[in-house]
């Protein structure tokens, strides 16, 4: 997973005009750890069932009339009994233990050797209550650590759980869906075990207009876990099976269904251009853009993430997102009250700005610069950093006229102020943006006016101070700007500084940083 401390990784994953077209179109994926590490928090990998609901069957009602309290030894004895009633009572007691909100004894139940018998109970079609309790218990065990999930898988639970997807008992069927979702959510190995066991067609067959909403939510969440994880990605066959269902689910009105459907698409677009194309070619973009206007954060976040992933693709895929109306929405999201949304929106814009100049022109046409400059001035620092990247991409690929519009937007003032930021990479980017703009102004014979503006903003003082920065790259970049654009007559202090800096140090030639 890339981090903000890896500039080479950051530059590699964005396309820049400094490279040829094929390289520029490779990947412009998300780069900040903060932007990506939230996935596990925003969409739950596994869920434990702590609710008290049971299938409303005569046998269940009869069993519920008897209060049963068993020790672990009695549970083990009951589970291994040949009497279905004792098996049920023991399994139900174990399930209740596993459904405790705090400190459920998952490890204890595994070590007691109960899983193989519970897997057998899944096959007891004459006793749906027993099937239900066994599926519920296995669901909660699979909600634990990877080791605990493995115990369920190696106990042979996947195939019997898939067979329960055809059960006539709705509660049994739903609990099986939940258990499979937990298994798939553990990681790519068990996800693929579920896929190769042919779970997807059975899951898709369950989707109907009359399905209870809680059941549909569970199916959608399980499908999203089947789309989740990389190294490897889910196979193409699985993706092709799931995509039409996700497109259908995106038309639903329930926010949880919409959220998990969007998360599924975000996982499928977090990859190569080919994978992005699989999603884009379904025609889903217009609906995703509509969902980006949602007032519900659990829908807005994954829909924005998905569109952000899509614009890391080819210029053609990015244009499809623009045509779908994403630039109508992103300027509003830059002004969202949640910094996390501001940051995601700025990240998406930075990828559009990394494209050809006609994409940059569309950013100008949709008046993106004013809210972007406002973020540079007043946003949280993590948002400002993403906005700086957007400006850097813009400056790198812009035409001369577009650069002039960038300067007229008032971007220099916040950039100059951010030169004191405690982030080496961001300071380097800003210095290189300033250098790019100065070079462009020189070609237009406007450098003198620009230099006066930078001086009025306090920029010269800040750049001069950076010559003594502890980071040598910053010191050298600042020195180069002063000498080339402001230091026609080098004074004694500049001469001394030049002598102090180790001239043998190998500095990175950024070429406006973002070009690399």
Query: So where are the chain's domains?
Result: 369-486
pLDDT at 109 over 70: yes
pLDDT band at 5 (very low <50, low <70, confident <90, very high): very low
Q: What is the dihedral of CA 7, 515, 25, 361, to 10 degrees?
A: 120
| pTM for this model (two decimals) | 0.85
Minimum mean pLDDT among 23-32, 72-81, 101-110, 307-316: which range? Answer: 23-32
Secondary structure class of 25 (helix, strand, coil): coil
Cβ distance 171 to 55 under 8 Å? yes
Residues 6+ apart with CB under 8 A from 344: 35, 301, 304, 305, 308, 333
Average pLDDT over residues 419-439: 97
Confidence of residue 68 (pLDDT cuts 50, 70, 90): low
Tens of pLDDT, residues 316-346: 999 999 999 999 999 999 999 999 999 999 9
Whole-angstrom Cα distance, residue 207 to residue 215? 9
CA–CA gap between residue 312 and residue 289 (Å, rounded): 16
What is the spatial distance between Cα 494 and Cα 483, in angstroms, rounded to a whole number? 9
- CATH 1.10.3720.10: does it fit domain 369-486? no
**Summary mean pLDDT of the chain:** 87
Inform me whether the pLDDT recorded for 3 exceeds 70.
no
Return the pLDDT at 66.
Answer: 52
What is the structure's pLDDT at 488?
Answer: 58
Q: Judge whether residue 10 has pLDDT over 70.
A: no
Question: Which tens digits make up the pLDDT trace of 363-412?
Answer: 999 999 999 999 999 999 999 999 999 999 999 999 999 999 999 999 99
Any idea which of 20-24, 313-317, 477-481 has the lowest mean pLDDT?
20-24
Mean pLDDT computed over 81-88 = 97
Mean pLDDT (whole number) for 60-89: 82
Between residues 109 and 40, the one the model is more confident about: 109
How many angstroms separate the first and last alpha carbons of the chain?
20
Mean pLDDT, residues 238-247: 98
């Amino acid at each position: 997973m890339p981090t903000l401390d890896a500039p080479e990784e950051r530059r590699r994953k964005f396309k820049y005009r400094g490279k040829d077209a094929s390289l520029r179109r490779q990947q412009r994926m998300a780069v900040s750890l903060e932007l990506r590490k939230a996935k596990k928090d925003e969409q739950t990998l596994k869920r434990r069932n702590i609710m008290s609901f049971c299938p409303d069957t005569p046998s269940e009602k009869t069993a519920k009339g008897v209060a049963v309290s068993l020790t672990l030894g009695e549970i083990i004895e009951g589970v291994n009994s040949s009497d279905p009633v004792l098996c049920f009572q023991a399994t139900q007691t174990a399930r209740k233990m596993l459904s405790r909100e705090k400190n459920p004894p998952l490890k204890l139940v595994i070590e007691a050797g109960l899983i193989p018998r519970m897997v057998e109970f899944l096959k007891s079609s004459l006793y749906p209550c027993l099937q239900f309790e066994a599926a519920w218990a296995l669901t909660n065990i699979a909600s634990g650590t990877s080791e605990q999930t493995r115990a369920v898988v190696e106990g042979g639970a996947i195939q019997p759980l898939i067979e329960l997807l055809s059960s006539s008992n709705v509660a049994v069927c739903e609990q099986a869906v939940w258990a499979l979702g937990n298994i798939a959510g553990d990681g790519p190995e068990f996800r693929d075990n579920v896929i190769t066991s042919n779970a997807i067609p059975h899951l898709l067959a369950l989707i109907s207009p009359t399905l209870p909403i809680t059941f549909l939510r569970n199916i959608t969440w399980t499908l999203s876990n089947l789309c989740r994880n990389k190294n490897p990605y889910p196979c193409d066959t699985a993706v092709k099976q799931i995509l039409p269902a996700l497109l259908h689910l995106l038309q639903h009105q329930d926010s949880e269904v919409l959220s998990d459907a969007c998360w599924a698409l975000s996982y499928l677009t977090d990859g190569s251009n080919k994978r992005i194309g699989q999603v884009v070619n379904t025609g889903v973009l217009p609906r995703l853009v509509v969902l980006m206007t949602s007032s519900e954060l659990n829908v807005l976040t994954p829909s924005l993430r998905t569109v952000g992933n899509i614009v890391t693709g080819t210029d053609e895929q990015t244009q499809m997102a623009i045509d779908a109306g994403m630039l109508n929405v992103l300027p509003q999201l830059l002004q969202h009250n949640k910094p996390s949304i501001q940051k995601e929106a700025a990240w998406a814009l930075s990828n559009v700005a990394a494209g050809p100049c006609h994409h940059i022109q569309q950013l100008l046409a949709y008046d993106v610069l004013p809210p972007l400059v406002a973020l540079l001035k007043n946003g949280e620092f993590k948002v400002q950093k993403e906005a700086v990247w957007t400006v850097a991409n813009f400056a790198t690929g812009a035409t001369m006229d577009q650069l002039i519009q960038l300067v007229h937007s008032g971007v220099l003032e916040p950039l100059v102020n951010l030169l004191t930021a405690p982030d080496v990479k961001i300071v380097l980017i800003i210095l290189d943006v300033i250098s790019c703009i100065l070079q462009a102004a020189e070609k237009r014979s406007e450098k003198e006016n620009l230099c006066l503006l930078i001086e009025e903003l306090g920029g010269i003082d800040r750049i001069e101070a950076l010559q003594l920065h502890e980071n040598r790259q910053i010191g050298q970049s600042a020195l180069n700007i002063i000498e080339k654009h402001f230091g026609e007559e080098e004074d004694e202090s500049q001469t001394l500084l030049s002598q102090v800096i180790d001239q043998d140090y190998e500095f990175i030639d950024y070429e406006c940083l973002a070009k690399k």
